């Protein structure tokens, strides 16, 4: 079974994890593992799916399957939300491809790989759904088989695109080379058959001294893309190569030299690179994915150039850099009024200003929403636009259904969008689907393992489901990556409080207010008050001072509420929760955090939860 050796290893582990449980599935998995015939492999994969779907029909839909086709049952499971959406997608894919096994005809044996990958995804979820502890078993077995290089079935077509090197003497052209790298990365991310590591996790290797195998091992990938280029006048030169990490062997490489007459010249080469890499890896590119990769977002060179500069400054998230980014995005819009990504960039700036406390929700919200709706009107097939809309609908509008549909669309257009998976996990927790939430955040961390923000969001997911020790570990992992990560500091503070480690919670409490607002003087006073009059007094006094400060400048009232709850001042906590509602504080949807348990039954709290249409009370 050499063609799909890597894929069958995970099936073998699932079979071993069953340990004789679920006899029908155990039997079909055993048959699948033993066959070396392509058609028979498809047939047994389909039988495994039939066993799983038939059981779900009886247990979840509460009726026998009888002779109903698989597709009909899968659609009903989806409609009644009995199965996560990504599992539904894998079920449909396996059902469609495995038809070749049920009715043999000419087909490419390579199709067995996606069938086995989909079966692995479905099987892992199903075993967990049935209460079989598959995750710890699989992790142990994989760790046993690991040597120097990680061999994970789903990572056989896994790729990391390292930051491209700027060969130009002019450092001002760094933004252009970064833009080339990001567009190649974005195009690869649109291919569902690939697992592509996100930008944040590869950025640390910009000035790397590690070897290719070391980088690949740390990122959990089999392939590395390297590139370098330079821009000179109206031309640019770009060299890229694809490397098999384990052997450090070059699989593909190409040099491009192009005179730039319009932006289309740049996008064409970026698309060619992504498609060449996918072809070399034998990745399946659907017609829809090919269309998305080859789509030209703008032909106006000045608009594209301004957009790249806007992105460059937006990522820094300081007040001045956000101001500069907005100027460039506005310029991009001016040069091409139909450039959807320019409007998406404007929306991102306003969201960034609000998140960093540089603008209130009342100021930032309408401007961000107007920009994203214009972007959507101009181009409804951009994952970035739907992701931004999902954030706006969820955190800005408190529209849970609208948020979920936008997240699903963003992930459909870019299955490797790590942040979309991560923030979607929070929405799923908000609407009371914690199991699916954990699956989404774990997938996000596979796609972007070294991103402190995603680790921070993971900590929040764990805190929501009361897994305090794990939440503390995840927050501390994030802080190791970025000592100023505000979400991680906030989650660490709350998790330590919930585990009655009050003195330990003071350290992140002090840091978060310095990071967000520069309130360094409050830390010394907090320590003195704690030593002289205890925890509740110290935290309450600090909350009072921050509340006074909020009369001069906008400060997130949700955070003030949390401080009062830690101080045991429920009256002030409720007042600030009401104030957060009046100001439409985007963080208010985190009312399900356990810190709010002490006031959850209060009529005022219940009223806010009802008016926000929250499913929990």
pLDDT tier for residue 257 given thresholds of 50, 70 and 90: confident
DSSP calls for 401-422: HHHHHHHHHHHHH-TT-HHHHH
Q: Between 227 and 36, where is the model more confident?
A: 227
Q: Choose among 331, 336, 269, 278: nearest CA to 306.
A: 331
Query: 336-392, pLDDT tens digit by residue?
Result: 999 999 999 999 999 888 877 788 888 998 999 999 999 999 999 999 999 999 998
- Pair (248, 329) in one structural domain: no
Whole-number Å distance between alpha carbons of 607 and 617: 9
- Which residue, of 330, 348, 379, is where some domain finishes? 379
* pLDDT value, residue 150: 39
- Which residue, of 319, 352, 379, is where some domain finishes? 379
The pLDDT of residue 243 is above 80: yes
* pLDDT value, residue 200: 86
pLDDT tier for residue 570 given thresholds of 50, 70 and 90: very high
- Pair (117, 223) in one structural domain: no
CATH at residue 44: 1.20.120
- Pair (74, 123) in one structural domain: yes
Whether 391 maps to a domain, the answer reads: no
User: In total, how many domains does the chain have?
Assistant: 4
Are 181 and 227 within 8 A, CB to CB?
yes
Q: Between 102 and 116, where is the model more confident?
A: 116
Q: For 57, how many CA atoms within 13 A lie in the half-sphere containing its CB?
A: 20
- Which residue, of 263, 296, 329, is where some domain finishes? 296
Average pLDDT, the chain: 87
- Pair (232, 267) in one structural domain: yes
* pLDDT value, residue 133: 72
- Pair (184, 212) in one structural domain: yes
pTM over 0.75: no
Whether 432 maps to a domain, the answer reads: no
Are 259 and 240 within 8 A, CB to CB?
no
The pLDDT of residue 547 is above 90: yes
Residue 127 in tokens: 């075993």
Q: Choose among 329, 304, 340: nearest CA to 179.
A: 304
* pLDDT value, residue 4: 62
Q: Choose among 358, 357, 412, 354: nearest CA to 385.
A: 412
Range of the domain at 166: 153-296
- Our CA angle for 506, 488, 571, nearest 5°, is 55
Query: 404-438, pLDDT tens digit by residue?
Result: 999 999 999 999 999 999 999 999 999 989 999 99
């Amino acid at each position: 079974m050499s063609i799909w050796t890597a894929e069958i290893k995970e099936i073998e582990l699932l079979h071993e994890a069953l340990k004789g449980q679920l006899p029908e599935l155990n039997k079909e998995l055993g048959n699948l593992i033993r066959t070396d015939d392509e058609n028979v492999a498809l047939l047994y994969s389909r039988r495994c799916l039939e066993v799983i779907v038939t059981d779900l029909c009886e247990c979840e839909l509460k009726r026998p399957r009888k002779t109903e086709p698989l597709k009909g049952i899968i659609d009903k499971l989806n409609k009644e939300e009995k199965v996560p959406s990504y599992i539904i997608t894998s079920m449909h894919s396996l059902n469609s491809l495995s038809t070749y096994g049920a009715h043999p005809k000419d087909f490419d044996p390579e199709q067995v790989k996606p069938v086995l990958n989909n079966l692995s995804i479905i099987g892992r979820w199903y075993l967990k759904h049935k209460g079989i502890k598959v995750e710890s078993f699989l992790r142990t077995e994989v760790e046993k088989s690991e040597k120097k290089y990680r061999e994970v079935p789903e990572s056989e077509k896994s790729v990391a695109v390292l930051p491209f090197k700027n060969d130009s003497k002019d450092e001002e052209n760094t933004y252009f080379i970064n833009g080339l790298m990001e567009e190649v990365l974005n195009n690869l991310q649109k291919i569902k058959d690939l697992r592509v590591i996100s930008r944040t996790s590869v950025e640390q290797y910009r000035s790397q001294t590690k070897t290719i195998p070391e980088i690949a091992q740390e990122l959990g990938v089999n392939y590395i893309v390297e590139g370098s280029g330079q821009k000179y006048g109206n031309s640019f030169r770009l060299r890229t190569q694809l490397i098999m990490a384990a052997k450090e062997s070059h699989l593909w490489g190409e040099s491009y030299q192009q005179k730039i007459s319009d932006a289309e010249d740049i996008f064409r080469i970026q698309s060619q690179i992504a498609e060449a890499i996918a072809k070399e890896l034998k990745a399946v590119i659907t017609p829809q994915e090919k269309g998305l990769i080859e789509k030209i977002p703008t032909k106006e060179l000045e608009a594209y150039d301004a957009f790249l500069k806007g992105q460059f400054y937006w990522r820094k998230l300081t007040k001045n850099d956000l101001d500069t980014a907005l100027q460039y995005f506005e310029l991009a819009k001016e040069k091409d009024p139909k450039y959807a990504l320019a409007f998406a960039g404007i929306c991102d700036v306003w969201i960034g200003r609000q998140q960093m406390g540089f603008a209130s929700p009342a100021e930032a919200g309408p401007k961000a929403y107007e920009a994203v709706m214009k972007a959507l009107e101009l181009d409804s097939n951009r994952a970035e636009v739907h992701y931004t809309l999902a954030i706006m609908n969820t955190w800005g509008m408190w529209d849970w259904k609208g948020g979920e549909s936008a997240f699903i669309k963003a992930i459909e257009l870019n299955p490797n969008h790590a942040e979309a998976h991560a923030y979607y996990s929070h929405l799923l927790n908000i609407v009371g689907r914690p199991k699916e939430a954990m699956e989404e955040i774990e997938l996000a961390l596979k796609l972007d393992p070294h991103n402190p923000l995603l680790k921070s969001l993971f900590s929040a997911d764990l805190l929501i489901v009361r897994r305090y020790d794990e939440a503390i570990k995840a927050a501390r992992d994030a802080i190791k990556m970025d000592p100023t990560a505000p979400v991680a500091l906030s989650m660490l503070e709350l998790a330590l409080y919930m585990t009655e480690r009050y003195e330990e919670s003071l350290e992140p409490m002090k840091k978060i207010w310095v990071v967000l607002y520069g309130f360094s003087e409050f830390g010394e006073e907090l320590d003195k008050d704690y030593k002289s009059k205890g925890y509740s007094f110290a935290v309450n006094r600090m909350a009072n001072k921050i509340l006074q400060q909020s009369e001069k400048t906008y400060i997130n009232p949700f955070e003030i509420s949390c401080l009062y709850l830690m101080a045991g001042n429920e009256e002030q906590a409720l007042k600030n929760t009401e104030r957060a509602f009046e100001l439409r504080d985007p963080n208010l949807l985190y009312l399900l955090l356990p810190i709010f348990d002490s006031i959850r039954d209060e009529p005022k709290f219940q009223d806010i939860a009802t008016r926000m249409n929250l499913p929990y009370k």
